[in-house]
Chain A
């Protein structure tokens, strides 16, 4: 079965960096686009970043101001999110999500369980 398992979250001081990982299994990793979505405590969902199946295309939320970088390793079936210059507003549960393969879908059919990032001094 499809599994997405995030790791790398934790408590980090403002201004520091953190790298999240998302290990995938149960599907042909290199044929799916992937995304990161985050959710601050008690708040709604916020789309963060996209990467195409081969890693050649990337898009980011405007609010990140170039601080985050999405990448993937198709040999290791792992998705990454490098987060730099973290601030309190980056405190959230970070989900990795698989984009639905159906043409015209534009949705997320599988999600990880999420990893909590807390930015605090």
Chain B
């Protein structure tokens, strides 16, 4: 199975700051990577697919980059509604797997 490792596990940031979250795959996955945002008690929301493609309706302050084993989700200017937990997910091969999550907290 492909293991997905996110770092950091949590990050404290202020409104307006730039935040980057890393996701590393145990094997190369090309661009088969998605990013999700999840708020407490809610289902996850797709932000990025294909490593760098912004899902329709998602603000442009979110961006994704990377290929192979190393990927990054960047929030260019953190907004109050962005405080949440973020997950990466690989779809290169079954079983699909998620990272353990990164919680973005208010500093």
Query: Which A residues contact B (CB, under 8 angstroms)?
Result: 35, 44-47, 50, 59-62, 95, 100, 102, 104-109, 111-114
**Pick from B1, B44, B45, B55: contact of A45, CB under 8 Å:** B44
Shortest distance between the CB of B4 and any CB in chain A (Å)? 10
Give the number of residues in B that approach A within 8 Å (Cβ atoms). Answer: 28
- Tell which of B19-27, B66-74, B96-104 binds the partner: B96-104
The interface bits of chain B over 67-107 (1 if a CB of A lies within 8 angstroms of the residue's CB, else 0) are 00000000000000000000101111011111111000000
B101 partner residues in chain A, CB cutoff 8 A: 44-45
Minimum CB distance partner of A102 in chain B? B49
Bound form: Cα–Cα A100–B55 in Å: 10
| Closest 9 pairs (CB-CB, A-B) | A106-B91, A107-B34, A111-B43, A107-B49, A59-B94, A105-B49, A47-B96, A45-B98, A44-B101
User: Is B95 touching A47 in the complex (CB atoms < 8 A)?
Assistant: yes
Bound form: Cα–Cα A105–B31 in Å: 9
A47 partner residues in chain B, CB cutoff 8 A: 89, 95-98
